[in-house]
Amino acid sequence: MDTRLGRLNFFGGFPDQASVDRLYDNLDFQRAVQAYLLALPVVNQVGNRDGILAVGPANTTVPIWETMVDARTVELTANNNTPYTWFWLDLRGGPLVVEAPPNVLGLANDMWYRWVGDIGLVGPDKGKGGKYLVLPPGYKGRVPSGYFVLRPGSYLTWIAWRSFLVGDDPKPGVDLVKKHTKIYRLGETNPPKLNFVDMSGKPFNMVAPADYPYWALLNKVVQEEPTDDVDATTLGFWASVGIMKGKPFAPDERMQKILAEAAIVGDATARAIMYRWRGADGYWYSDRNWRLGFVGGYKFEENGARLLNAYSGFFFYATGVTPAMDSRSVGEGSQYLAMFVDAKKTVLDGGKNYRLHLPPNIPIKNFWSVIVYDNQTRSMLQTDQRFPSVSSQNKKLKINPDGSVDVYFGPKAPAGLEDNWAQTVPGASWNILLRLYGPLQAFFDKTWRPGDIELQS
pLDDT digits (tens, 9 = 90+) for 57-78: 999 999 999 999 999 999 999 9
> What pLDDT score was predicted for residue 149?
98
pLDDT band at 223 (very low <50, low <70, confident <90, very high): very high
Q: How many other C-beta atoms lie within 10 A of the C-beta of residue 195?
A: 12
Nearest Cα neighbor of 435 from 382, 363, 375, 343 is 363
Higher pLDDT, 279 or 344: 344
Convert the pLDDT of each residue in 183-193 to its tens digit: 999 999 899 99
Which helix (H) or strand (E) segment holds residue 47: the answer is helix 17-53
| β-bridge pairing 96-100 and 130-134 | antiparallel
The pLDDT of residue 327 is: 74
160-206 confidence digits (pLDDT tens):
999 999 988 999 999 999 999 999 999 998 999 999 999 999 999 99
pLDDT value at position 325? 82
Residue 316: per-residue pLDDT: 98
String of b and e for 142-177 (b: at least 16 CB within 10 Å)?
eeeeebbebbbbbbbbbbbbbbbbeeeebeebbebb
pLDDT averaged over every residue in the chain:
96
> What are the start-end ranges of the E strands in 12-72?
14-15, 61-64
Helix axes 308-317, 17-53, angle to 10 degrees: 40
* CB neighbour list of residue 445: distance below 8 Å, 6 or more residues apart: none
Residue 334 pLDDT greater than 90, yes or no: no
Pairing between β-strand 453-455 and β-strand 354-358 as defined by DSSP bridges: antiparallel
- 3-class secondary structure, 263: helix
d(CA 426, CA 25): 41
Helix H, strand E, coil C: the string for 297-346 is HHHCEECCEECHHHHHHHHHHCCCCCHHHHCCCCCCCEEEEEECECCCCC
Residue 369 has pLDDT above 80, yes or no: yes
Instruction: Tell whether the model's pLDDT for residue 283 goes beyond 80.
Output: yes
Mean pLDDT of 343-355: 98
Q: What number is the average pLDDT over the span 123-152?
A: 97
- Region 388-397: mean pLDDT is 96
Residue 333 has pLDDT above 80, yes or no: no
Cα separation, 395 vs 168, whole angstroms:
9
Residue-wise pLDDT for 18-59, tens only, equals 999 999 999 999 999 999 999 999 999 999 999 999 999 999
pLDDT in tens, 226-266: 999 999 999 999 999 999 999 999 999 999 999 999 999 99
pLDDT at 266: 98
Q: Residue length, the chain?
A: 457
Residue with the larger pLDDT of the pair 314 and 293: 314
- Is the pLDDT at 117 greater than 80? The verdict is yes
- Residues 6 or more apart whose Cβ sits within 8 Å of residue 419: 390, 394, 396, 397, 398
